[in-house]
């Protein structure tokens, strides 16, 4: 799991995937989020709605008398936060049995253990993004309005400004003219190149051209934006499958990363979208946006546990700093932490 941007990207100089990774450590072995105090505070603020709904309910529950009702209330609170029924049941069962065995004394220990169990649930697969291939091709998919283009712009910005990578954007959402213009705005801000096509043109051709230009100019990372709405859902899935095949035929190993953006405010509907996209384009990671606008941030846990897809990035607002690598431990803590 990635605690900051340098953990998120696997670059030529960083550790091998599956190598030494602090994701394996117990929470107690990890450094407290001290140096990153400001970042953690921002995460907590971004998730204020969920925490207010969930945190206070849980504090009230776990710090009182433990009986049958305690566990029922805890289950209810987690389900209300969209953690998902099966995930909730297994987390609460484990907490309850550990409490019954006398392993957890007092509300503090219970709530710490709950954070640990939630973090464990959220930790699936490799949450990092390998950018060692040159060029690395990242394809962004997701329903209109979920934050695809914004996420691409912010990702490009971080790659350029913080990692000095050269980036080229491919505006393969040719369904709406405005989509290309919006991406051009981000290309200017991030100071990267962009390949666009006329409205209504073949998105596969834009993706092809973007990769061709990136290869001839030695660009490090190509990010392909795609349409999130067509006349029908079948049309959309058909087109995304086609764009993906164009990319795969043109460059071996590409797309190296296929990121699905999901809007956290759509709750369980997001899970259904994820299944559909995953069947069509082999999603490698989820970008969960708009966590700042919902009390149901638990959806991140449901995505991880029910779909076995790693959440790689989260959006907690509209500014460039508000797109962040996802860290299970920080996330679980921000869901509930009083301070």
Single residue of 55, 84, 170, 315 touching ligand GDP by CB under 6 A? 315
Q: Is-cis flag, bond preceding 135, omega within 30?
A: yes
Instruction: Give the one residue of 50, 87, 88, 149 binding ligand GDP; rule: CB under 6 A.
Output: 149
Would you count residue 148 as binding ligand GDP (CB under 6 A)? yes
Q: Which of 50, 70, 111, 150 binds ligand GDP (CB under 6 A)?
A: 150
CB closer to ligand GDP, 290 vs 333: 290
Q: Which among 253, 245, 14 has a CA at the least distance from the CA of 135? A: 253
Out of ligand GDP, Mg ion, none, what residue 84 binds, judged by CB under 5 to 8 A for its kind, is none
Task: Count residues near Mg ion (CB under 5 A).
Answer: 3
Closest approach of Mg ion to the CB of residue 140, in Å: 9
Site map 140..169 versus Mg ion, x via CB under 5 A: --------xx--------------------
Pick the binder of ligand GDP from 116, 135, 228, 270 (CB under 6 A).
228
Q: Whose Cβ is closer to Mg ion: residue 37's or residue 185's?
A: 185
Least distance CB 40 / ligand GDP (angstroms):
17
**Is 179 an interacting residue with respect to Mg ion (CB under 5 A)?**
yes
Strand partners, 184: none
Q: Does 147 bind ligand GDP (CB under 6 A)?
A: yes
127 binds, among Mg ion, ligand GDP, none (CB under 5 to 8 A by kind): none
- Told to check if 244 binds ligand GDP by CB under 6 A, we report no
CA dist., res. 160 & res. 157, Å (int) = 5
Kindly tell me which residue out of 82, 292, 327, 330 binds ligand GDP, with binding defined by CB under 6 A.
292
Which residue has 């989509």 as its token pair?
A: 179
| Residue 75 binding partner per list Mg ion, ligand GDP, none, with a CB distance cut-off of 5 to 8 Å that depends on partner kind | none
User: Which residues of this protein are in contact with Mg ion, per CB under 5 A?
Assistant: 148-149, 179
User: Which residues of this protein are in contact with ligand GDP, per CB under 6 A?
Assistant: 142, 144-150, 228, 261, 289-290, 292-293, 315-318, 322
């Amino acid at each position: 799991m990635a605690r900051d941007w340098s953990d998120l990207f696997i670059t030529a100089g960083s550790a091998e995937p599956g190598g030494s990774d602090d994701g394996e450590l117990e929470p107690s072995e990890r450094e407290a989020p001290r140096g990153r105090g400001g970042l953690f505070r921002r995460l907590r603020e971004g998730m204020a709605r969920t925490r207010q709904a969930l945190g206070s309910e849980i504090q009230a529950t776990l710090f009182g008398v433990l009986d049958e009702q305690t566990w029922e209330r805890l289950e209810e609170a987690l389900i209300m936060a969209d953690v998902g029924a099966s995930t909730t049941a297994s987390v609460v069962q484990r907490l309850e049995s550990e409490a019954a065995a006398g392993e957890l004394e007092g509300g503090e220990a219970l709530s710490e253990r709950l954070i640990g169990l939630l973090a464990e649930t959220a930790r699936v697969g490799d949450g990092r993004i390998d950018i060692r291939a040159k060029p690395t091709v990242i394809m962004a998919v997701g329903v209109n309005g979920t934050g695809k283009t914004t996420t691409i712009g912010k990702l490009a910005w971080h790659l350029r400004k913080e990692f000095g990578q050269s980036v080229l954007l491919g505006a393969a959402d040719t369904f709406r003219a405005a989509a290309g213009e919006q991406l051009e705005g981000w290309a200017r801000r991030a100071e990267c190149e962009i390949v666009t096509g006329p409205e209504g043109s073949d998105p596969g051709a834009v993706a092809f051209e973007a990769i061709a230009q990136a290869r001839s100019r030695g660009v490090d990372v190509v990010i392909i934006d795609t349409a999130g709405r067509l006349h029908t859902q079948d049309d959309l899935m058909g087109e995304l499958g086609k764009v993906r095949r164009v990319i795969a035929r043109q460059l071996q190993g590409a797309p190296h990363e296929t990121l699905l953006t999901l809007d956290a405010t759509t709750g369980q509907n997001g899970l259904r979208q994820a299944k559909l996209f995953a069947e069509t384009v082999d999603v490698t990671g989820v970008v969960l946006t708009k966590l700042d606008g919902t009390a149901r941030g638990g959806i991140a846990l449901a995505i991880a546990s029910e779909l076995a897809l790693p959440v790689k990035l989260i959006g907690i607002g509209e500014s460039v700093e508000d797109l962040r690598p996802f860290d299970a431990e920080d996330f679980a803590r921000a869901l509930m932490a009083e301070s």
